[in-house]
C-alpha cells in the first residue's frame, strides 16, 4: 500500500472511530439529559403526539387524551376543567404543571415499569400508550368545595382542602379563581401563548394553587396549635380556668397600640373556662397563653403539625407554612392567635384539624392513590405513612371536645350537621389596614369517628368588610364538603 492510500485509510478510520464515539456518547451518556432538555423539540413533538394516560377521580377521567385529526395524533382534554385545574395542571407543548408534571413518566409511557408494555407495543407495532393515575379525590367533595367558593361570588379568591384523617388522602383540593387547562393544551400554539399571557397578566393570579402555594396568617384557627401546646406542656387541662378578660396589653408595649380585645365576645372578667375560651375564640386567653408558653414551645408544637416543612410530593412548588423561632415577647403573644409572622397554607391548617381528628397523629398527605398500566395492572399503590405525632391521644380528645362545643354553641355554628357531631374552629385574620381580613375555617366530622377534615380560606371576596368572618363564609362550605364525604 502506497503512502497516500495508507494516509487516507488512517484518516477514514479516525473519522469512523470519532463517529462511533459520538454516537455512543449521545445514545448512552447524554441521552437522558438530551431527552429531558426542554429545547429538544423532537422529544416534545413525539410526546405531544402520543396517547397519554388518563388522570382519574373515582371512575371519571379528569384528564385524558382523545384522537385528533390535525398534525398531532392525540389531543389532551380536561372534561371538568375549572373544578380540577389546579390538581391536574395542564399538558401543553411548552410545559407541564401539577400532576401532569409530577406523573409525567407514567402518563407519557416512559416509566421503566412500563418497559414490558412498550416492548409489546414494539413487537405488535401498536402505538405506545401511557399509564393511568388514580387520584384520591372524591368527586362530590370536590364539587361541594368548588361550588361553595363560587357561591361567594365570581371575584372570590380562596381555597378548600379536605383530608381523610386516618390516611392523609386528599379528598378535595380547590383553588379560586380557576382556569381552563384546555386552552393551554390546544394544538394552536399561537392561541396557547396568548391564553398563557392573559392568565399570567391577571391580578387575581388564576394559575396560583392557593391551597398549597399561598401562605397567610391563619388567625384564630391557629389557637388550636396554641391550645395543643398548653395541654402538651401541662400548663392547663381541659376543665381548667384560663386567662380571660376584656383586654390584653401586649408585652413590651403600652397604650392603645398594644391593647387587644375580644371583639365583644364573652371571655370572663379575669378568667374563663378553657372550653369557653376556644368556643368564643377569646384573643385575651391565647395571647396570654402564648406568652406563658414562650416561642420555643409554640414553634415545637407548630412544627409537629407540619410547619416549616414540605410534605406533599405529588404537586410541585409547595410553599412552606411558617412559624419563626426568633420572635420577641410581643410577637410571640401575637403568634398565639395566628398573627405576627405566622403564615400557613390551607393544606397546613387542614393537617392541623386532621391531626387532632386522628388522635394526634398527622398523616403525610397524598394525592395519588395508585398508578396503573394502560391495561389497568397496578404498578404502584400509595401506602399511608405517618408524618408526625403532634399530640398525645388525650390532648387530641380534649381539643376535639372543645371544638365540638365551638360548633354546637360557639363561633362555628354554621358548620352544624343535623345528627352528626362536628368539631370546628373559626378564624378571621387581620392583614393590612388597606384590605379586608382573611376568613378561615377548619373542622372535621363525625367528631367521634372522623372521616374528613376540612380547611377553608377566603382570601378575598365581594362580601362587605364588616360581614367577613370565618364562620359565616367558611362554615357553610366546610359543612357541604363534610356532608359530601360523610353521606357518600
The C-alpha cell of 259 is what?
Answer: 391593647
Q: Classify residue 168 by its DSSP letter.
A: -
HSE at residue 70, side-chain half, CA atoms within 13 A, is: 12
Choice between 47 and 334, residue whose per-residue pLDDT is larger: 334
Choice between 100 and 10, residue whose per-residue pLDDT is larger: 100
Percent of the chain with pLDDT over 90: 77
Contacts of residue 196, Cβ cutoff 8 Å, sequence gap at least 6: 92, 94, 184
Task: State pLDDT tens for residues 255-302.
Answer: 888 999 998 999 998 999 999 999 999 999 999 999 999 999 999 999
What is the reported pLDDT for 37? Answer: 65
220, 273, 388, 443: the active-site residue:
220
What is the reported pLDDT for 122? Answer: 64
**Residue 220 appears among annotated catalytic residues:** yes
Predicted confidence (pLDDT) at residue 35 exceeds the cutoff of 70 = no
Rounded to whole angstroms, how far apart are CA atoms 425 and 410?
9
pTM to 2 decimals?
0.90
Percent of the chain with pLDDT over 70: 94
Predicted confidence (pLDDT) at residue 2 exceeds the cutoff of 90 = no
**Under DSSP, is residue 107 helix (H, G, I), strand (E, B) or coil?**
helix
Place of cell 381552563: 180
Predicted confidence (pLDDT) at residue 39 exceeds the cutoff of 70 = no
Element at 113 (helix H, strand E):
none
Looking at the DSSP bridge assignments, the partners of residue 172 are: 162
How many Cβ atoms are within 10 Å of 246's Cβ, its own excluded? 15
Rounded to whole angstroms, how far apart are CA atoms 293 and 332?
9
How many Cβ atoms are within 10 Å of 285's Cβ, its own excluded? 32
Choice between 447 and 436, residue whose per-residue pLDDT is larger: 447
Task: State pLDDT tens for residues 169-215.
Answer: 999 999 999 999 999 999 999 999 999 999 999 999 999 999 999 99
Burial class (CB in 10 A: 0-12, 13-18, 19+), 264: exposed
Computed over every residue of the chain, the mean pLDDT equals 92
- What is the arithmetic mean of pLDDT over 335-360? 97
What is the reported pLDDT for 40? Answer: 66
Task: State pLDDT tens for residues 69-127.
Answer: 888 889 999 999 999 999 999 999 999 999 999 999 999 988 888 877 767 776 666 67
The C-alpha cell of 133 is what?
Answer: 393515575
Contacts of residue 339, Cβ cutoff 8 Å, sequence gap at least 6: 217, 219, 429, 430
Set out the domains of the chain in order of their start, with CATH numbers.
221-368+386-487 (3.40.710.10)
* Beta strands per DSSP E along 352-405: 361-363, 368-372, 378-381, 386-389
Task: State pLDDT tens for residues 445-483.
Answer: 999 999 999 999 999 998 888 888 889 999 999 999 999
Rounded to whole angstroms, how far apart are CA atoms 91 and 368?
18
Rounded to whole angstroms, how far apart are CA atoms 295 and 336?
9
The C-alpha cell of 387 is what?
Answer: 408524618
Contact 58, 172 (CB under 8 A): no
Amino acid at each position: 500500500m502506497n503512502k497516500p492510500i495508507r494516509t487516507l485509510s488512517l484518516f477514514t478510520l479516525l473519522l469512523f472511530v470519532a463517529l462511533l464515539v459520538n454516537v455512543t456518547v449521545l445514545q448512552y451518556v447524554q441521552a437522558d439529559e438530551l431527552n429531558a432538555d426542554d429545547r429538544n423539540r423532537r422529544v416534545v413533538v413525539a410526546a405531544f403526539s402520543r396517547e397519554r394516560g388518563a388522570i382519574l377521580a373515582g371512575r371519571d377521567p379528569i384528564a385524558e387524551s382523545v384522537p385528533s385529526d390535525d398534525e398531532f395524533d392525540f389531543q389532551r382534554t380536561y372534561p371538568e376543567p375549572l373544578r380540577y385545574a389546579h390538581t391536574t395542571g395542564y399538558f401543553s407543548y411548552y410545559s407541564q404543571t401539577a400532576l401532569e408534571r409530577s406523573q409525567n413518566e407514567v402518563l407519557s409511557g416512559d416509566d421503566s415499569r412500563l418497559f414490558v408494555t412498550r416492548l409489546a407495543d414494539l413487537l405488535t407495532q401498536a402505538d405506545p400508550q401511557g399509564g393511568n393515575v388514580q387520584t384520591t379525590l372524591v368527586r362530590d367533595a370536590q364539587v361541594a368545595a368548588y361550588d361553595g367558593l363560587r357561591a361567594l361570588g365570581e371575584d372570590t379568591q380562596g381555597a378548600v382542602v379536605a383530608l381523610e384523617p386516618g390516611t392523609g388522602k386528599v379528598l378535595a383540593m380547590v383553588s379560586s379563581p380557576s382556569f381552563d387547562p384546555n386552552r393551554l393544551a390546544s394544538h394552536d400554539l399561537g392561541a396557547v401563548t396568548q391564553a398563557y399571557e392573559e392568565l399570567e397578566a391577571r391580578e387575581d393570579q388564576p394559575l396560583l394553587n392557593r391551597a398549597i402555594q399561598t401562605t397567610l396568617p391563619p388567625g384564630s384557627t391557629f389557637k388550636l396549635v396554641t391550645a395543643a401546646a398548653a395541654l402538651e406542656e401541662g400548663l392547663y387541662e381541659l376543665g381548667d380556668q384560663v386567662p380571660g378578660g376584656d383586654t390584653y396589653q401586649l408585652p413590651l408595649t403600652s397604650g392603645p397600640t398594644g391593647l387587644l380585645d375580644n371583639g365583644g365576645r364573652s371571655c370572663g372578667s379575669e378568667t374563663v373556662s378553657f372550653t369557653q375560651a376556644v368556643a368564643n375564640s377569646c384573643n385575651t386567653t391565647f395571647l396570654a397563653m402564648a406568652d406563658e408558653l414562650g416561642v420555643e414551645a409554640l414553634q415545637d408544637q407548630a412544627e409537629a403539625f407540619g410547619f416549616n416543612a414540605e410534605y406533599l410530593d405529588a404537586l410541585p412548588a409547595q410553599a412552606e407554612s411558617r412559624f419563626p423561632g426568633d420572635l420577641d415577647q410581643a410577637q410571640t403573644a401575637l403568634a398565639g392567635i395566628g398573627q405576627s409572622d405566622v403564615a400557613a397554607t390551607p393544606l397546613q391548617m387542614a393537617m392541623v384539624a386532621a391531626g387532632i381528628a386522628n388522635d394526634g397523629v398527622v398523616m403525610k398527605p397524598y394525592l395519588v392513590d395508585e398508578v396503573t398500566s394502560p391495561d389497568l395492572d397496578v404498578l404502584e399503590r400509595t401506602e399511608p405513612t405517618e408524618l408526625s405525632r403532634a399530640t398525645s391521644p388525650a390532648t387530641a380528645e380534649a381539643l376535639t371536645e372543645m371544638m365540638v362545643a365551638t360548633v354546637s354553641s360557639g363561633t362555628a355554628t354554621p358548620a352544624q350537621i343535623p345528627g352528626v357531631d362536628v368539631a370546628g374552629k373559626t378564624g378571621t385574620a387581620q392583614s393590612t389596614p388597606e384590605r379586608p381580613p382573611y376568613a378561615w375555617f377548619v373542622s372535621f366530622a363525625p367528631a367521634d369517628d372522623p372521616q374528613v377534615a376540612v380547611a377553608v380560606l377566603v382570601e378575598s371576596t365581594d362580601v362587605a368588610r364588616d360581614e367577613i368572618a370565618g364562620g359565616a363564609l367558611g362554615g357553610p362550605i366546610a359543612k357541604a364538603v363534610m356532608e359530601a364525604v360523610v353521606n357518600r
